[in-house]
Structure 1
Amino acid sequence: MKLLVAALEAELVAFPADLPGFDRLVTGPGKLQATYALTRALDAGAYDEVVVVGTAGAIDATLEAAVYDIEAAIQHDVTDIDGKVGQHVSLPPRVELGRDGVIIATGDHFVDDAEAVSVIRPLGARLVDMETYAYGWVAEQFGVPIRVLKAVSDRAQDDAITDWRATVTACSHQLRDTIRTEYGV
């Protein structure tokens, strides 16, 4: 059995309530809610894979509005004791997800301005979201393989939340098509 995970119900609108071979989990937005909900789910049941679907802002202008596999996640909203951005005091700077793809920067705020993007982009990420680092770290603690698929919903600048609201349903359909193709359900 696999666990289908999304931060928000809106990201799953194109998915049937019952997807054969998958349990379903909506965690809520942000790293804390993602960590709590996924930890509870993995503690309560055995899964052979966690499959995360969701939206992300593209901070790399060359990325098209498509679905991307995530290779690794970093945190853009932490600093270590020396003030180095992207480095946590006690967590690894990068969580590898075991796939070829793009790097995503996770933080607990919705990125929607050029100044924030200019701080995050040098960290090596091409996408931003609010949960992937947490999902990856929790899955690693439980020894469960994880795949994260992200659909580009916005460009993470200038009123991106309006773009996200307008595109989240289309992104859900893109993600559903990818799951259908990749997993045959």
Structure 2
Amino acid sequence: MKLLVAALESELQAFPARLAGFDRLVTGPGKLMAAFGLTRALDARDAGDPYDEIVVVGTAGTVSNDVESGIYDVAAAIQHDVQDLDGVVGRHVSLPARVETGREGVTIATGDIFVDDADATARIRSLGGVLVDMETFAFVWVAQQFGVPIRVLRVVSDRAQDGATQVWDEVVAACSAQLWDFVQREYDL
């Protein structure tokens, strides 16, 4: 059994409510809600029968001119909205600077803000991120704590520049449809 995870119900709107071989989880947006929701789901699962894989789907903004629209596997996640005791941005005081999924793909920068301005995108690029979201770092870190393999699929919804908030509201349905088509092909559904 796999666990299909999204932050928002709207990101799953094109998916059927029931999907053979998958449990479904919607956590809510942001790192805390993502960590809490996924932890509860994994903790509630019988320890003798853990999930085979966590499959996270959702939207992301791009902060790179080299990243086109489409669906991307995430290889690693960093945090763009933290700093350590020495003031180093992107370094948390107690969490790793980077978490990895074990898959080939892109680096995503996670933070508890919806990025939609040029200054923020430049800062995120300087940290090594090419996509930006609000949950992936937490999802990957929690999966690692439970020893469950994780795959994160993000579809580009916007360019994380001025007006990205309005664009996201308009494109989320199309993004969900792209993700559903991709998941059907990848998992023979």
Distance 1:79 1:121 in 2: 16
Q: Aligned residue for 1:174?
A: 178
- Which of these residues, 64, 68, 92, is aligned with residue 96 of structure 2? 92
1:52-81 CA deviation, whole Å, 9 max, x = no partner?
A: 000000001111110000000000000000
Q: Aligned residue for 1:12?
A: 12
1:78-118 CA deviation, whole Å, 9 max, x = no partner?
A: 00000000000010000010100000000000000001111
RMSD: 0.5
Distance 2:178 2:61 in 1: 15
Distance 1:6 1:178 in 2: 15
Aligned-partner residue type, residue 10 of structure 1: S
Query: Aligned-pair distance for 1:177?
Result: 0.8
Aligned-partner residue type, residue 121 of structure 1: R
Where structure 1 has 5 or more consecutive residues not aligned to the other structure, the ranges are: none
- What secondary structure does 1:141 align onto? helix
Query: Aligned-pair distance for 1:2?
Result: 0.2
Query: Aligned-pair distance for 1:41?
Result: 0.2
Query: Aligned-pair distance for 1:182?
Result: 0.4
Distance 1:167 1:184 in 2: 26
Aligned-partner residue type, residue 151 of structure 1: V
Where structure 2 has 5 or more consecutive residues not aligned to the other structure, the ranges are: none
2:34 is aligned with 1:34: yes
- What secondary structure does 2:18 align onto? coil
2:131 is aligned with 1:127: yes
Query: Aligned-pair distance for 1:122?
Result: 0.6
2:140 is aligned with 1:136: yes
Query: Aligned-pair distance for 1:152?
Result: 0.2
Which runs of structure 2 are paired with 1:156-171 in the superposition (5 Å)? 156-171=160-175
Query: Aligned-pair distance for 1:143?
Result: 0.1
Distance 1:26 1:64 in 2: 27
- What secondary structure does 2:183 align onto? helix
1:123-157 CA deviation, whole Å, 9 max, x = no partner?
A: 00100000000000000000000000000000000
User: Segments of 4+ in structure 1 off by > 3 A?
Assistant: none
Aligned-partner residue type, residue 51 of structure 1: V
Q: Aligned residue for 1:116?
A: 120
Distance 1:167 1:63 in 2: 17
Q: Aligned residue for 1:64?
A: 68
TM-score by length of 2: 0.97
